[in-house]
Amino acid sequence: MNEISIQSPDLELDTTGLMCPLPLLRLKKALSGLESGGVIRVMATDPASRLDFGVFCEQAGHPLLKVVDDAGILIYWIRKAPST
């Protein structure tokens, strides 16, 4: 993992204002269009996204690179797992 990837994601997704399950559904859809190894930056305000994204990334094999809470906006950096 390099810092450039986190600072310059390949794709950004704004799910602020959406509640469960919409942030996770939008993340899954966005990841399907992203190349393996690409980094997506997701912004969410739903507190449940912390658990939802963590479990999803663990089960799907997508590395969760970083999570930041910026005044109630959760910002996630996720790297798409290689296709198997």
Whether the ω angle into residue 21 lies within 30 degrees of 0, i.e. cis, is: yes
Active site residue 20: yes
Instruction: Using alpha carbons, list the distances in angstroms from residue 51 to 18, 26, 71.
Output: 15, 15, 18
CB 24 within 8 A of CB 55: no
State which H helix or E strand residue 65 sits in.
strand 64-70
Q: 6, 11, 20, 64: which one is catalytic? A: 20
**Where in the sequence numbering do the catalytic residues fall?**
20
